Amino acid sequence: MSESILNIDSITKSFVKNIVNVHGNNEDERYFIIDDLDLLVPKGKITALIGGNGAGKTTLFNIISGFVESDSGTVLYNDKSNSINISKMKPEQIARIGIGRMFQDNHIFQNLSVLENMLIADSNTFGEIPINSFFRTKKNKEVEENKIEKAKEIFENIFGNNNSFWERKNDKAKNLSYGQKRLLGLTRLLMGNYQLLLLDEPSAGVNASIIPQIMEIIKSFVDDKDLTVFLIEHNMKVVLDIADFCCFMSHGKIAALGTPDDVISNDEVRKIYMGA
Amino acid sequence: MDYIFHIIILINIYIILTTSTNLLVGMTNLLSLGQAAFYGLGAYFSVLALMVLHLTIIPALLFSAICTSLMSLLIAYPSLRLKGDYFVLATLGFQLIIYTILYNWISVTKGPFGISGIPSPSLFGLLYISGIYSFLVLSSVLAAMVIYIFYKLIHSPFGRALKGVRDDELSLLSIGRNVTSLKIWAFTLSSGFIAIGGCLYASYVAYIDPTSFNLDEAIFILAAVLIGGTGNIKGPIIGAVFVVVLPELLRLVGLPDSIGANLRQIIYGLTIILLMRFRPQGIAGEYALK
C-alpha cells in the first residue's frame, strides 16, 4: 500500500444503554459502534468503505471529520508536509486543514442559488467579514470575481461548456432534482482547498443514469486533481469500478481489507454482507 | 399634517427595529425574544449620552449602538451555543432580566417613573433637532441608512454565509466556517442597529420608561418581522408599515380605544396564524422560518 493520508489508530466509540437483566435489575451495558479500529487510508487513491447498516461507517466518518468525538484512539492526518492529530479538532478546523466531506443526505444550501452554493464553498473567506462585505473594496471584488470564474471553470471541466448548472446558476438549489443536488454537492468540493474527500454514499438514491457521471467525477478527483477519496458505498458496481482499495466493516471493526475483488470474494464478507 | 409626520417617524423607527431583527431572524434563523431589551438598552444608553455626557446626535447614536453591541456580546457567546428552542428561551431570559433591571434600578433608570426631559439632540452643536420636521428628516435618513447598510450586507459574502447558517449549519461547518462566530456577528450587528432605533425613540419622545421595552414589545417587533416577511429587505419594511398603520386605521374607523386596542391584538394574531398557514414566509418575505 502507498503512503497513507490518514492513520486511524485504535478508535473506539461506544454508548451506554440501561437495560433490565434476567434478574429484573437495571444495569448499564456498553455498546461499541466503533471497536478499537485501526486503518490506514492510502494517499492519492480511492478507498471504499463497505458494510451493513449499523456497522459504524458513518460514525467513523463523523469521527474523522470532527462531528463526533471518539472515546479513545487517534486520527492522524498526513498533510503535504506534516502529520496532524485531528482527534480533538472541531469540524470547521478539520475542513480548513484539507478534509472535505459530502454527507449522506443532501446537505447543500437549499435557499442559495446554484452559483452561491459554489461560492460559499470556496476556501477563501476574505469577503465574509462584515466590514469587508460592506466596503466593497477592489480586493473584495477581485476575490468574488475569482470565485465566480473558478466555479464556472469547475462546471465546464466536469459538465462541459454550456452545461445546465451554469445556465441555471441563479436558480435556487432547492429547485434542482435530487440527482443534480448530489452532483452539485460533489462538484462544490472542488471549490475547497482539500486533499482528502470523505464521500458518504455519493450514488445513494440517484437515478441510474447519473451514477456513471458520479463515478467519473470521483475518478477525476484522484486522476486530475491528485486528491484522495475515502467513500462509503453500498453500490458494489461503483466500488468495483472506481475503488483502488476496499475495507469491509462489521460490528465496528475492519473485518476485511484489500482490493475490491479480494474483499468481495472474501467468504466472511459474502456471508455477512451479501448473504451468500 | 403633523399627525402624518408622526406616523412616518414611528414607521421609520420600526423599520430600523424590524430590519435589524431580520438579520437575526430572517437571515440567520435565530428567533430572538430579546430584541426589545436591546431597543431599551439603546434608549437608556442614549439618555446617558445626551443627558450626562452631553453628546451631539451622531456620537450619541454611535455610543448607544456600541454600548448595546457590547452588552449583546454578554448574551451572545453563551446563548449562541444553544440551539433552537433553547436559544429562544435564553433570549427570553435576557429580555426579562434587562426589563427587571430597568424597572428596579431606580437610582440609575428611575424605574417605573421613567426618565423625562430628554433634551433635543443637536447636530454638531449647530442645529437642534427638536420639531417634528427635524425628527422626520432625521428618522428618514437613519431608516434609509439602515436599509442601505443591511441591503449591502445581505447581498454580500457575509450575507451569503449567514444564509448558510440559516439553511444548514452542518454543511457550513463541513466547509470550514465558524458558525458560532457568524452568529455572534449577526447578533451583535442586529443589537447595535436596534439601539439606533432606541436612541431615535428616546430623543423623539423625550421620555422613556421600562414598559416601552417589555416582552410585549419584543413580541410586537418579532410579529412585525414575521408579518412583513423575512429573508429580504422589503419584508421587514412592509411589516413595520403594517404594525404602525393598522392601529391608526382602526382609530379612523371610529372604534373606542378600549375596543380598538384589543381588536388590534386579535388582528395581529389572526394575521400571523393565516400567514403561517398560507404564506409562512410573510407578506413579502422569501424565507419561511424552520
Per-residue pLDDT of chain A (276 residues; tens, 9 = 90+): 568 999 999 999 998 888 787 788 888 888 889 999 999 999 999 999 999 888 899 999 999 999 999 999 999 999 877 899 999 999 999 999 999 999 988 889 999 999 999 999 999 888 888 887 777 778 888 899 999 999 999 999 999 888 999 999 999 999 999 999 999 999 999 999 999 999 999 998 888 889 999 999 999 999 999 999 999 998 889 999 999 999 999 989 999 999 999 998 888 888 777 665
Residues B51-98 pLDDT 10s: 999 999 999 999 999 999 999 998 888 888 787 788 899 999 999 999
Spatial distance between the Cα atoms of B212 and B196, rounded to a whole number of angstroms: 15
Note the pLDDT of residue A11: 93
Which chain A residues contact residue B176 at CB under 8 A? 92-93, 95-96, 123, 125, 192
Buried b (16+ CB within 10 A) or exposed e, A31-62: ebbbeebebbbbbebbbbbbbbeebbbbbbbb
What sign for the dihedral angle of Cα B157, A65, A205, B289?
negative
Cβ neighbours for B277, distance < 8 A, ≥ 6 positions apart = none
Sole residue written with cell 456580546 = B73
Spatial distance between the Cα atoms of A233 and A179, rounded to a whole number of angstroms: 16
Which among A90, A91, A130 has CB closest to B153? A130
**Residue ranges making up the domain that contains B118:** 2-210
In a domain, B231, yes or no: no
Spatial distance between the Cα atoms of A51 and B184, rounded to a whole number of angstroms: 41
Q: What is the pTM of this model?
A: 0.90
In a domain, B26, yes or no: yes
Is A128 in contact with B160 (Cβ distance < 8 A)?
yes
In a domain, B199, yes or no: yes
Which chain A residues contact residue B286 at CB under 8 A? 111
Spatial distance between the Cα atoms of B226 and B237, rounded to a whole number of angstroms: 11
- Chain B positions contacting chain A at CB under 8 Å are 149, 152-153, 156-161, 163-164, 166-168, 170-179, 182, 185, 189, 231, 286-287
Note the pLDDT of residue A275: 67
Note the pLDDT of residue A1: 53
Note the pLDDT of residue A135: 76
In a domain, B106, yes or no: yes
Nearest to A100 by CA among A26, A202, A178: A202
Question: What are the structural domains, with CATH classification, of chain A?
Answer: 1-98+235-276 (3.40.50.300)
Which chain B residues contact residue A120 at CB under 8 A? 157, 160-161, 164, 172, 175
Is B175 in contact with A120 (Cβ distance < 8 A)?
yes
Query: Is residue A89 within a helix (H) or strand (E), and if so which, with residue range?
Result: none
Per-residue pLDDT of chain B (290 residues; tens, 9 = 90+): 889 999 999 999 999 999 999 999 999 999 999 999 999 999 999 999 999 999 999 999 999 999 999 999 988 888 887 877 888 999 999 999 999 999 999 999 999 999 999 988 888 877 888 889 999 999 999 999 999 999 999 999 999 999 999 999 999 999 999 999 999 999 999 999 999 999 999 999 999 999 999 999 999 999 999 999 988 999 999 999 999 998 888 777 777 777 877 887 888 888 888 888 888 888 888 877 66
In a domain, B215, yes or no: no
Which chain B residues contact residue A90 at CB under 8 A? 173
Is A95 in contact with B173 (Cβ distance < 8 A)?
yes
What secondary structure letter does DSSP report for A124? Answer: -
Count of domains for chain B? 1
Which chain A residues contact residue B158 at CB under 8 A? 127-130, 132-134
Is A92 in contact with B149 (Cβ distance < 8 A)?
no
Torsion on CA atoms B185, B187, B192, B198, rounded to nearest 10: 170
In a domain, B229, yes or no: no
- Chain A positions contacting chain B at CB under 8 Å are 65, 67, 90-93, 95-96, 100-101, 103, 107-112, 116, 119-121, 123, 125-130, 132-134, 136, 140, 144, 188, 192
Note the pLDDT of residue B290: 65
Note the pLDDT of residue B287: 73
Is B174 in contact with A103 (Cβ distance < 8 A)?
yes
Which among B158, B166, B175 has CB closest to A121? B175
In a domain, B280, yes or no: no
